[in-house]
Amino acid sequence: MTITNGSKRIQDAPEPIAIVSAACRLPAHVNSPHKLWELLQSDGTAVSNEVPKSRFSTEGHFDGPGRPGTMKALSGMIIEGINPAAFDVSFSNLTRADATAMESQQRQLFEVV
């Protein structure tokens, strides 16, 4: 589609798009758009009470809000049942080195989208 002003072409307009599906993988077991909507409607929270021991030990990292270089809180927004280190590179065009260098949230986005 082209936008014109009289006989002068101004720009090519972007083609219309349609969103035909949606997916999500969020904390508080929110793994579908429907569950996300329910969480929002209930004014709920996705903050976990504590970091699972399987992720990392908070001992030695948490010292309250007063000490620089330490964690300020013991809670977080943790996606349950996910191993952040596990990523199937055959699913994408990434190399193992690229996938390892990526931040875990980027790897999750690759899997969900």
Summary mean pLDDT of the chain:
81
Report the residue count for the chain: 113
43, pLDDT greater than 70: yes
pLDDT tens per residue across span 7-22? 676 666 677 878 788 8
Say how far apart CA 98 and CA 35 lie, in whole Å. 32
Say how far apart CA 6 and CA 20 lie, in whole Å. 36
Say how far apart CA 100 and CA 103 lie, in whole Å. 8
pLDDT tens per residue across span 54-73? 777 888 787 777 778 888 88
Cα–Cα–Cα angle for 94, 99, 54, nearest 5°? Answer: 145
Tell me the CA distances in angstroms from 85 to 6, 19, 101, 106, 109, one per residue in order: 57, 30, 11, 12, 14
pLDDT tens per residue across span 80-112? 877 777 788 887 788 888 888 888 888 888 888
CA-based nearest residue to 28, from 94, 77, 71: 77
CA-based nearest residue to 75, from 90, 91, 62, 60: 62
